[in-house]
Amino acid sequence: MRLILSLLTLLIAGCDLIPRSHLERVEDSGELRVLTRYSATTYYEGPHGPTGIEYDLAAGFAEFLGVKLKIRVPDNLANILSDIQNGSADLAAAGLTMTDARASLFNFGPVYQRITPQLVYREGSPPPKNLDVLRGSLEVVAESSHAERLHALKGEYPDLSFQESRELESEQLLNLVWEQVIDYTVADSNEVAINRRFYPELRVAFDISVPEPLAWAFPPGEDRSLVEKAEEYFAGLRASGRLDRLLDRYYTYVADFDYVGTRRYMKHIEQRLPLYRNWFEEAAQQTGEDWRLLAAIGYQESHWDPGAVSPTGVRGIMMLTQNTMQHLGIDGSRHDAEASIEGGARYFSSVKNRIPGRIREPDRTWMALAAYNVGYGHLEDARVLAQDDGANPDSWTDVKKYLPLLTQKKWYSKTRYGYARGHEPVRYVENIRSYYDILVWQSEREHPPAPSSPALTIQSPAL
């Protein structure tokens, strides 16, 4: 009997020695451990919760696997790379460029975006023509693909010199260029596009390489089971069009950079907004909206000018009709800034409450803004056109493609409310999104939010 028990013990022990694949370990643990970094192009805490393109992709992958997403943000890029190399996490979703040197250290998933590294300087200094004639300090993130590329270029440009920072991220280096603490940095084209709204004097001197691929990094080794699952996941995103819609959601609205308009807006934040900020904050408390969103609406409508009048007769900071003010039960002239802001906030909130509850944020807010501008009926017409065409009527990225069709008889003849200047609400929403982002950035510089927890575990939402 003892012999049989001993054999059974050895057999059971032998079963434990059979290695499980990376995918099986993730499934058994019930969580996907993801490393990322804080930036506008990766992951951050937004007004509606965690957001960022890398966050959305990772959350979708966790849902695809049927596990929870666990996010961790190491102190710097070097730690992200070392933690993945030693297997301390399942993958890094951090806007990583897939270089030849990195490909020898990690397994990489499929390419999901291409970016171009660019040399950035501040307007006012002479734009450099090449890397041999830099007149000042150049600083990049340590162990980044930018540092790797610059090291490779030293053979071609022997006078090239630069510093590598282990303390600062790319967005912080862009800020230092803008503040004229350093003269140059190298940043990815998507980061430059987003951050020029906050630092409008930043300029691109030239590209330092051809477009490069971004991909997730996985621990090295022959076990590619989780990588193969990621390949399956991304293939589904591409086939369904969801990857293109996600990229469009984060980048399309920042593509048309307007230096003059942005500079004027920053000036108005300093000079005009303080006159009305308290009223925007009070209206936000009454309606449950973000005061910065209400202020962004007000700026789009009137540039915070209480005496503004449009050719169609709407007036005031929030550009309301007299009928709207009366319907809302608000006393006072439309040129009364406090009354106008209260009326605009209540009207926007009432429009938003009409948006179907199943539509998630931030799409719910973007659609409410479109309806605030063009009318709820026309928004519904565009959603019907989207649905009839096989698109998603609950996605702003889809619906905004159908709003402009309301100018064409071929399309508006099929709708309930008919013709509308459908290009206007699209531009209206995109402008307010940029104004809002800048206000969020500005207000958080004044009062930085409390540091986030180093690890965040959530049930993954649908992509």
Is 311 a residue whose pLDDT tops 70?
no
Of the pLDDT bands very low, low, confident and very high (cuts 50, 70, 90), residue 449 is low
Q: Is 60 exceeded by the pLDDT of residue 202? A: yes
Query: What does the pLDDT read at residue 462?
Result: 45
- Told to judge if 430 belongs to the known catalytic residues of this protein, a careful annotator would answer no
Measure the CA angle with vertex 202, ends 249 and 56; round to 5°.
Answer: 25
Q: Give the per-residue pLDDT at 460.
A: 44
**Top-ranked range on mean pLDDT: pick from 320-329, 367-376, 410-419, 441-450:** 367-376
Nearest one of 389, 421, 427 to 405, comparing CA atoms: 421
The CATH homologous superfamily of the domain defined by 22-114+215-255: Periplasmic binding protein-like II (3.40.190.10)
Q: Give dist(CA 247, CA 94) in Å, integer.
A: 15
pLDDT at 114 over 60: yes
List the single range of 40-54, 333-347, 398-412 with lowest mean pLDDT.
40-54
Q: Locate 89 and state its tokens.
A: 């996490």
Each residue of 129-164: pLDDT tens digit?
889 888 899 999 999 999 999 999 998 998 899 999
pLDDT for 2: 55
Q: Which pLDDT score is estimated for 219?
A: 96
Q: Let me know if domain 117-209 sits in CATH 3.40.50.2000.
A: no
Per-residue tokens: 461:
């939402």
Q: What is the mean pLDDT of residues 256-284?
A: 90
With a cut of 70, say whether residue 459 has pLDDT above it: no
Average pLDDT over residues 103-131: 93
SS3 labels along 259-285 = HHHHHHHHHHHHHCHHHHHHHHHHHHH
Residue among 58, 53, 63, 72 at smallest CA distance from 30: 63
Task: Tell me what pLDDT residue 334 has.
Answer: 65
Cα angle value 354/355/356 (rounded, 5°):
110
Token pair belonging to 189? 């084209």
Quick check: 47 pLDDT over 50?
A: yes
Share of the chain above pLDDT 90, in %: 64
Whole-number average pLDDT of the chain: 88
Mean of pLDDT values over 121-130: 89
- Under DSSP, is residue 358 helix (H, G, I), strand (E, B) or coil? coil
**CATH topology match: 22-114+215-255 vs 117-209:** yes
Residue 62 burial (10 A CB sphere; 0-12, 13-18, 19+): buried
Q: Is 204 exposed, middle or buried (0-12, 13-18, 19+ CB in 10 A)?
A: middle
Q: Per-domain residue ranges for the chain?
A: 22-114+215-255, 117-209, 259-446
How far apart are alpha carbons 31 and 400 in whole angstroms?
35
Please compute the mean of the pLDDT values over residues 36-65 and round it to a whole number.
Answer: 87
- State whether residue 451 is helix, strand or coil: coil
* pLDDT surpasses 50 at 452: no
pLDDT at 226: 97
Residue 1's pLDDT is what? 52
pLDDT at 331 over 80: no
Q: Which residue has the higher pLDDT, 334 or 288?
A: 288
Radius of gyration of the chain (CA): 26
**Mean local confidence (pLDDT), 439-446:** 84
Selected catalytic residue, list 54, 139, 212, 301: 301
Pick the CATH number of 259-446 from 1.10.530.10, 3.10.580.10, 3.40.50.300, 3.40.50.720: 1.10.530.10
Q: What does the pLDDT average to over 401-410?
A: 90
Arithmetic mean of pLDDT, 302-313: 80
Chain centre distance of CA 65: 24
Q: Which of 17 and 43 is assigned the larger pLDDT?
A: 43
Report the distance separating Cα 213 and Cα 217, nearest Å. 12
The pLDDT tens digits of the residues spanning 17-36 come to: 578 999 999 999 999 999 99
Helix, coil or strand: residue 384: helix
pLDDT score at 388: 94
